[in-house]
Amino acid sequence: MIIQNISLLLFIVTPIIMFLVYQKFGKDKKPSVNIIQHPPEGINSLKTAAWFNGFVDYHAVISLIVHLANKGYLNIKETSEWFGSAFKLIKCKDYNGKNKASKTLMKTLFGSDTTELYLHEITNKQCRSIIQIKKKSTMNKKSGHKVYTKESLCAEKIIYAFVFILEFVLWFAVCPHLIKTPLEIIIVIYFESFFAALTFFFEKTIKYLVFNLKRKKPIIGKVTELLIISIATVIVLFIAKDYFLPFVEPTLTTLIIFVTGVCSILSLIILKQFIRKRNNNAQMIYEEILGFKMFLETAEDKELVCLYKENPNYFYEMLPYAYALNLENEWLARNQNIELAQPIWFSSENTFSNDTIKSSIFGMLTFLVSIIKSRIRHGYHRAPLF
């Protein structure tokens, strides 16, 4: 009874303490936003997404293709093949900039002796290299200190540690008479490993849901996956009930402790997604990107016409940033009343119009993203593309 009382107190107090830690060390300042017409100086589209979100998706990586095209490193050509439209990347010159991701992408696409690449012929090796660019561009343990405060990163580790501590405590509280024989120890280790893996899955899923909710992107697929895993967990527990039910005290107190413990663990997993706090420099960059993002979403015709008079290529220079921030449709909608000129780096057998940008340029980028995701789902075996 003493163990159960202490456990119940721990399940109630721990989330409260961690929430206070979040309020003290993990809550970002309210951003001060000024709408600006350009992204922060010296930051390409991939870095913009990384600084804004903390991690990047394949849209952000692939957006570098248009960024490199604007810099004169490659051209994009749309051709007609037997299966429909095909996109070819043509190398114009070697990359001589300082950005590692852009350099790696150019090397990935063309190698040292190739000047042309049809996107539907992209290899598994090239897909793996693009995936590595994505991983290295995410603000991970090594680069996180550049963006987030040390206190918030430390608090994140503490929360994660408490998640697993509470899992052990839950076992002791619900099954106080377990762990007396070697067999019982093996049972606990097995189920603890199972729940640790389940916790890791839930943590990644919640992170995905939070990220996509912020971007107002569909989450039905991940929610369905979460429901399937939850049902599978219930089935596993039902099948294994004969192993641990004899050790469970069938009382109302036990049920309350179990429900409280699960809620406590889930609350810590959710809190972990918001605990990181940007440092002063990162907060300043975040506010600039937020102001730029608002401009892409709300720009008016008069503003755009003036900008295009100053820089005829302005639309295409901002296009990779819009794609990296998942605002390509909003940015194109802002320009629906303006007749856009064909960029010098894009050629097609079809007549160019504003619709070409969505169907061909955005279509080409989305096509490449879909290839990479398809290769991942099929274990890098060649997936049918047509």
CA distances from 178 to 182, 189, 244 (A): 10, 12, 8
State which residues form the domain around 229: 2-27+177-272
Asked whether residue 153 is assigned to any structural domain, the reply reads no
If DSSP codes are grouped into helix, strand and coil, which group holds residue 77?
A: strand
Alpha-helical runs (H) found in the chain: 2-21, 45-53, 58-62, 64-70, 100-110, 124-137, 150-174, 182-214, 220-239, 241-244, 252-272, 280-298, 301-310, 314-324, 328-334, 354-356, 362-377
Least confident of 2-11, 16-25, 128-137, 305-314: 2-11
**Which of 53, 98, 112 lies closest to 278 in space, CA to CA?**
53
C-alpha to C-alpha distance for 185 and 168, rounded to whole angstroms: 12
pLDDT score recorded for residue 70: 93
Asked whether residue 363 is assigned to any structural domain, the reply reads no
Query: Which residues partner with 278 through β-bridges?
Result: 148
Q: What is the pLDDT of the chain when averaged over all its residues?
A: 81
Asked whether residue 23 is assigned to any structural domain, the reply reads yes
Tokens of 353: 């119009």
Other beta carbons within 10 angstroms of residue 74's beta carbon come to 24
Spatial contact of 253 and 154, defined as CB atoms under 8 Å apart: no
Q: Which tens digits make up the pLDDT trace of 97-107?
A: 889 999 999 99
Q: Which tens digits make up the pLDDT trace of 201-247?
A: 777 777 766 666 665 566 666 567 667 766 776 676 666 555 555 55
Asked whether residue 80 is assigned to any structural domain, the reply reads no
Read off the pLDDT of each residue in 15-33 and give the average, rounded to a whole number: 86
Residue 384 has pLDDT above 50, yes or no: no
What global pTM score does this model have?
Answer: 0.78
**Which of 81, 70, 249, 100 lies closest to 176 in space, CA to CA?**
249
Q: Which tens digits make up the pLDDT trace of 152-191?
A: 889 988 988 898 888 888 877 777 665 566 666 666 666 6
pLDDT score recorded for residue 90: 93
Asked whether residue 239 is assigned to any structural domain, the reply reads yes
Spatial contact of 277 and 148, defined as CB atoms under 8 Å apart: yes
Helix/strand/coil (H/E/C) assignment for every residue in 257-320 = HHHHHHHHHHHHHHHHCCCCCECHHHHHHHHHHHHHHHHHHHCCHHHHHHHHHHCCCHHHHHHH
Structural domains in the chain (count): 1
Asked whether residue 172 is assigned to any structural domain, the reply reads no
Least confident of 141-145, 261-265, 322-326, 327-331: 141-145
Q: Which tens digits make up the pLDDT trace of 278-309?
A: 888 889 999 999 999 999 999 898 899 999 99
Asked whether residue 58 is assigned to any structural domain, the reply reads no
Q: What are phi and psi of 122, to 5 degrees?
A: -60, 140
Widest distance between CA atoms in the chain: 80
Asked whether residue 192 is assigned to any structural domain, the reply reads yes
